[in-house]
Amino acid sequence: MADLNPKIQPIIKEILQIRRELHKSPELAYKEHKTTRLIKNTLNGWGIEFYPFEHLETGGYCMVGDGKPFVAFRADIDGLPVTEDASHTIRSLNEGFMHACGHDYHTALALGLIKYLHNNSDRLNNTVVFLFQPAEEAAPGGAEQVIKESVWKKVRKIVGVHVAPDISVGKFVLVNGAVQASSTSLFIEINAPGGHTSKPHETVDTIAVSSQYIVQLQKYIRHKNDPQETVVLVFGSIQGGGTHNIIPQKVTLRGTLRTLNNNILENTLEYIREFSNRFSSLYEADIRVSFPTNCPATINDSILLKIFSEYMKKTGKGGDLILRTKSSLGADDFAFYSKEVPGLYILLGAAGRGSLHSGNLELNEKVLHYALEPLAEFLMALQ
């Protein structure tokens, strides 16, 4: 693990305090007003202009440098509806809400990167746009709105990070290809006349049809896709009927489809429509299919991945770099950025206690010490 540069300690000290303030005041997606004010006031105090987004009420961006190309860094700023473990030394003061996915770290790190670049602007040959994105945890998420912003049209590359409780502190993890899976929500409605349970032959048994639909759809999707591809379809909700002797007129199913390949994703959505039409005819039921939310997979750009790997080795930090082949089946709307421009999504080792999205998550603050200078210098060198 590389030694820490004592020159960055004043920045580290400041962003550690900011991280703790953020952790105490988590806000849910699209409601990050206090968080946005803290970011704006901090930047203004450093003499850096903060710009609100045109299409969002929270979040915003700033720019450091005046050269080309425009390189972006995304920091997500929202919290989660999770109750934090009362034993934590630094804990949420908003009961029932918590930064349980490390977005307080992402935001504080972005502010540290801004100050580092601002202090070294004489060495900066590009322009780095820092996107403080709201609502990563929502669906649809904030990224879908940020890519409509006029500033986004200038961006040519983007970098994002995520703290990881299962990785040793100080380590940087890259995944070649898909880092995070796609996540598409399914809403299926099965409609029929309904009837008495004593006469299922005179109607369509929507409960039985629904059970067959779930089983047969999963088989159909597996058959249509290359078995070497990851395609995961899971239903989380079945609702229909209210009593023992009435066949319901409607049954609704809700589920999630996840893949690691965006072409496979688009094909599979078409397979679901195709199957539903055929199944509807076979069972004489009206089946309506919709996909309320659809987040693509986050794919690391191979060239950016190579550039970062070589940068880490060149600067003597090759020992802190871990290359993985295994992807996560979680999702991140960073995917909307990396689908439009080359993107690099880096996992930062922050081993502490607990797991993401749980009340017992407690990360190691030293992740900020080890991530700040390497990421800042990489952003400065990116062309």
Give the three-class secondary structure for 320: helix
137 is in an annotated binding site: yes
DSSP of 207-242, one letter per residue? HHHHHHHHHHHHHHHHHHS-TTS-EEEEEEEEEE-S
Cβ within 8 Å of residue 182, ≥6 positions away: 257, 258, 259, 260, 262, 265, 294, 295, 296, 297, 331, 335
373 is in an annotated binding site: no
Cβ within 8 Å of residue 305, ≥6 positions away: 174, 176, 344
295 is in an annotated binding site: no
103 is in an annotated binding site: yes
For residue 215, CA distances in Å to 113, 228, 238, 250, 290 come to: 50, 21, 13, 18, 19
Which amino acid, residue 360? N
Taking only Cα atoms into account, the Rg of the chain, rounded to an integer number of angstroms, comes to 24
Identify which of 62, 25, 60 has the alpha carbon closest to the alpha carbon of residue 43: 62
Tell me how far apart the alpha carbons of residues 143 and 29 are, in angstroms, rounded to a whole number: 12
Cβ within 8 Å of residue 238, ≥6 positions away: 210, 214, 251, 252, 253
Place of tokens 């030394």: 89
162 is in an annotated binding site: yes
Give the three-class secondary structure for 139: coil
Contact 265, 182 (CB under 8 A): yes
Q: Binding-site residues for Mn(2+), please?
A: 101, 103, 137, 162, 357
Residues of the binding site: 101, 103, 137, 162, 357
